[in-house]
Amino acid sequence: GANLKEVLAKQVPQEREKMMGLKCLHGDKKLGDIKLSNVMGGMRGLMLLMCDTSYVDPNKGIFYRGMTLKDVVKDLPRVQEGSKEGTPEGAFWLLTTGKMPNKGQAEGLTKEWNKRGNVPRYCQRLLDSMDQRIHPMAQLCAASSCLDAESKFVKAYRKGVKRAKYWEYIYEDAMDLCAMMPPVAAIIYCNAFKDGAGSRELNPKEDWSGNFCRMCGYKDKNFIDLMRLYFVLHADHESGNVSAHATQLVGSALSSPYLSFSAGMAGLAGPLHGLANQEVLIWLQEMIKEIGDDPKDDEIITYVNETLKGGKVVPGYGHAVLRQTDPRFELQNDFAMKNCKDDKNVKLVTRLWKLIPEILKKLGKVANPYPNVDAHSGVLLQHYGLKEMQYYTVLFGVSRVLGVMAQTIWARALGAPIERPKSFTSDFLCKFLQDK
Ligand code: AMX
């Protein structure tokens, strides 16, 4: 079938059965021990969550439904005439159903999102009233939470819809939210940087990324391809990262997908998470100001060491789970090598990739000295003229809606309960552990 909801409707009963079986057969088995250091260390390393959309291998990076990102990028259908990159629509299909869509299925999703994507007037007015001191990410949170007024799930819940049917309304909200994300983000962009100019109408002939770029005032075909790739690469990264987990946590209270996405975006806005792409560029520009855009290796090494001595982290490097160069970094680098390898900043980023890991290794405490996804995206965006770095995390958010909404649909379809870990006072823990 060409319709995503029909495909999912067939899968839901099978997956529910699988979960029931898993719980019945293995519900009492142990997954590991919890140490105090896990509890005090941000719950790292514990097998605590279940998520089928994607999986991060410490060395190979993210898998979408069992496929490496390199294969995903290679196999996604190209839907727009002349485009060299697969569409995020296709990635959403893959993340939700577990199967790579054919061209017709991916195109069907584009059509559907173009129908669903009109941003209500009250949301546009809210965005238009924003003081320019309000960070674009804070604007994105405000916009997505106000869209809660659109929620079909909220209306159905009020009418007492059965639990087994929740997911059908959550699906509708998730689809509407994904559809509205490019225009919402484009309005934020144009208000902040183009004095509110720019179209707010979706063109049914364009795909999700094409519409977004056009609404922001970008026409370059290569840039639209870059955004397709960018949106595919940033879509999903398991469910334990801050933005995905915040979305799941709030969603588990049966708050609407609009509100739970807003919570996720509040998390993405943090400098240790999604804001790192903005931080990378600021850091890079400060470095260029100090030592020029064609520095010697020694000068770079000294500069990096100064950053570290100042008690700061090197943005774009390190990861909580990954232990190798992030394949999302490599795929962006592949794009750069094909499209803009002579760009000075691109060259610098490639050189840093060789130098910084060696410096971080010497600290002896950095679990992963290699670049993550954020080490590259900024210079590519700069190359195509999208220079407003306060905006970069919004692009990450536009992409992330795909993964977290795929996760949310499945969480409700499988009846994931409200999350409520138990906390203990430090005094209680002291006593408890003394006796051990
Ligand atoms: N530069 C300097 N020091 C670093 C570092 C870096 N890039 N990455 C880790 N370290 C340090 C940590 O600060 C910590 O030091 P401490 O013990 O003195 O506090 C020590 O190494 C051990 O940390 P870790 O186990 O390697 O990392 P983590 O799991 O605690 O944190 C992350 C992971 C990403 C927050 C961290 O590597 C970091 O701050 N990186 C820079 C910011 C960044 O690029 N964030 C983007 C991540 C991807 C994303 O979400 N978009």
- Just give the CATH number of 276-383: 1.10.230.10
Say which amino acid occupies 153.
F
Q: Is the CB of 366 under 6 A from ligand 1?
A: yes
What does the pLDDT look like over 350-384, one tens digit per residue?
Answer: 999 999 999 999 999 999 999 999 999 999 999 99
Distance 44 CA to ligand 1 centre (A): 13
321 three-class SS: coil
For a mutational test of ligand 1's pocket, the pick from 37, 313, 353, i.e. the residue with the most ligand atoms closer than 8 A to its C-beta, is 313
Q: How far is 296 from 372, CA to CA, in rounded Å?
A: 23
Q: Is the CB of 316 under 6 A from ligand 1?
A: yes
Say if residue 2's pLDDT is above 70: no
Distant-in-sequence, close-in-space partners of 192: CB < 8 Å, separation ≥ 6: 132, 136, 139, 388, 390, 391
For residue 326, indicate whether it is catalytic: no
Q: Is the CB of 314 under 6 A from ligand 1?
A: yes
Q: Is 16 exposed, middle or buried (0-12, 13-18, 19+ CB in 10 A)?
A: middle
Say if residue 283's pLDDT is above 70: yes
Torsion sign, CA atoms 172, 174, 177, 181: negative
Distance 366 CA to ligand 1 centre (A): 7
**ipTM confidence score:** 0.97
For residue 273, indicate whether it is catalytic: yes
What does the pLDDT look like over 212-264, one tens digit per residue?
Answer: 999 999 999 999 999 999 999 999 999 999 999 999 999 999 999 999 999 99
- Give the global pTM: 0.95
What does the pLDDT look like over 317-343, one tens digit per residue?
Answer: 999 889 999 999 999 999 999 999 999
CB 304 within 8 A of CB 359: yes
> pLDDT exceeding 90 applies to what percent of the chain?
95
> pLDDT exceeding 70 applies to what percent of the chain?
100
CB 257 within 8 A of CB 173: yes
pLDDT of residue 218: 97
What does the pLDDT look like over 168-195, one tens digit per residue?
Answer: 999 999 999 999 999 999 999 999 999 9
Q: How far is 412 from 143, CA to CA, in rounded Å?
A: 23
Mean pLDDT of the 30-34 span: 96
Say if residue 159's pLDDT is above 80: yes
Q: How far is 306 from 430, CA to CA, in rounded Å?
A: 39
pLDDT of residue 436: 83
Distance 320 CA to ligand 1 centre (A): 7
For a mutational test of ligand 1's pocket, the pick from 46, 268, 317, 377, i.e. the residue with the most ligand atoms closer than 8 A to its C-beta, is 317
The domain ranges of the chain are: 1-26+42-271+388-418, 276-383
- Closest ligand 1 atom number to CA of residue 372: 48
For residue 435, indicate whether it is catalytic: no
Percent helix, strand and coil across the chain, each rounded to 5?
Answer: 60, 5, 35
357 three-class SS: helix
For a mutational test of ligand 1's pocket, the pick from 56, 365, 392, i.e. the residue with the most ligand atoms closer than 8 A to its C-beta, is 365
Q: Is the CB of 238 under 6 A from ligand 1?
A: no
Which homologous superfamily is 1-26+42-271+388-418 in? Citrate Synthase, domain 1 (1.10.580.10)
Distance 315 CA to ligand 1 centre (A): 8
